[in-house]
Amino acid sequence: MDSLATTGAKVVAAICIKPGPLFERIDQGVWKPNDVGEWQDVITALVRRYSVERDLVTYWEIGNETDIGEDGGSPYLIPIRPIMRRTTT
């Protein structure tokens, strides 16, 4: 991260981790953490460290290609249709 910062690049960081204590099993279909508050603490700590204290990351993304899952490089496979139904009704 520090090497990137020296170039002056604007860094986009994709959070593609699934800490074992927060997810019941390794499975791309399991995308909701079992403790949302703890997950928020992990994300807050990452953002604080790399965007507030060190000003290294400009933009953040949770997952990457979440509609593709592990085949697309994301540990999450989030079903789009149920989410769309909830947001459009």
Contact between 50 and 2 (Cβ < 8 Å): no
pLDDT score at 72: 61
Integer angstrom CA distances of residue 39 from 13, 26, 49, 73, 87: 17, 16, 16, 20, 23
Coil/strand/helix, residue 13:
strand
- How confident is the model over 4-63, as pLDDT tens digits? 778 888 888 888 888 889 988 878 888 888 999 998 999 999 999 999 998 889 999 887
pLDDT score at 41: 93
Q: How many whole angstroms separate alpha carbon 31 and alpha carbon 76?
A: 5
Torsion of CA 87, 16, 66, 36, to 10 degrees: -30
